[in-house]
Amino acid sequence: MNFWHFIIANRQQVLELTLEHMTLAGTATAIAALVGIPLGILITRVPQLSKAILGSANVIQTIPSLALFGFLIPAPWIGDRAGRLAILALALYCLLPLIRNTYAGIRNVDPTVVEAARAMGLTDRQVLFQVELPLASGVIVAGVRIAAVLSIGLATIAAAIGAGGLGEFIFRGLAMVNNQVILAGAIPAALLALGTDSLLGVLERRLNSLGLKS
């Protein structure tokens, strides 16, 4: 049986696992963005915290992913369901690019433009929302893009703790020593990552064309 036969024969399951995969990676990226972008903003305002926060996010990324899933199993509520646990672990992994890009994006806004905004009597909040965030948005979206691709790739490992997703095929194929089954998980996952990457890339370029005009 070749790869295409396997896909067609199991199309229902391929579709289900792909959707499950997208839900895992998508939810994780969204949570990471909701935490990481505000943290990135925070460390532009309180630079004393930047070392601690960027350092912690860095350390999390160095933990091997399987080990991180393992560490989180004893956590209350989170550990009860494999899906929750996988989302939390993926979100933790995605924090670093989001914090770092938000921070770098805001720091790289032309200081004369920010000063002009302050001198015109914009409040701190207005400077952030009307000037800094719009001008940093291209770099921030680049961070979201990295985070999304990262979590789509890592979500294949979530199957190891029973969270589902396209990793199911990969682990099953490994156990069966069947390359067709491995590819049935790996190829849709790769296509998902590539599609997300180019879609967010278009958005990123569009936003950058606003900020880079000077």
Partner 1 sequence: MTLAPSDEPAIDFDHVSFGLNGRPILDDVTLSVASGETLVLLGRSGSGKTTTLKLINGLQIPTQGNVRVKGQRTTEWDPIRLRRNIGYVIQDGGLFPHFTVERNIGLVPRIEGWDEVRVQARVRELLALVGLDASLVARYPSELSGGQRQRVGVARALAADPPILILDEAFGALDPITRSQMQKEFRSLQQRMRKAVVFVTHDLREALLLGDRIALMEDGRLVVNLTTAEFLRSQQPLVRAYVEAFSEPPRESA
Using CB under 8 A, list all residues that contact partner 1.
110, 112-113, 115-123, 126, 130-131, 134-135, 210-214
Residue found under tokens 């004893």: 74
Name the residue type at position 189.
A
**Nearer Cβ to partner 1, position 87 or 127?**
127
**Nearer Cβ to partner 1, position 119 or 177?**
119
**Nearer Cβ to partner 1, position 62 or 112?**
112
**Nearer Cβ to partner 1, position 18 or 126?**
126
Give the nearest distance from C-beta 124 to partner 1 in angstroms.
9
DSSP state of 192: H
Residue 157 CA to residue 155 CA, distance in Å, equals 5
> With b meaning 16 or more CB within 10 Å and e meaning fewer, what string describes 60-75?
ebeeebeebbeebeee
Give the nearest distance from C-beta 107 to partner 1 in angstroms.
17
Q: Residue 169: left (phi > 0), alpha (psi -120 to 50), or beta?
A: alpha
Residue found under tokens 């560490």: 71
Residue 138 CA to residue 172 CA, distance in Å, equals 40
Q: Centre a 10 Å sphere on the Cβ of residue 209 and count the other Cβ atoms it contains.
A: 10
**Nearer Cβ to partner 1, position 160 or 203?**
203
Residue 98 CA to residue 30 CA, distance in Å, equals 11
Residues 155 and 28: beta-carbon distance below 8 Å = yes
Give the nearest distance from C-beta 199 to partner 1 in angstroms.
22
**Nearer Cβ to partner 1, position 117 or 166?**
117
195: exposed, middle or buried (C-beta count within 10 Å: 0-12, 13-18, 19+)?
Answer: exposed
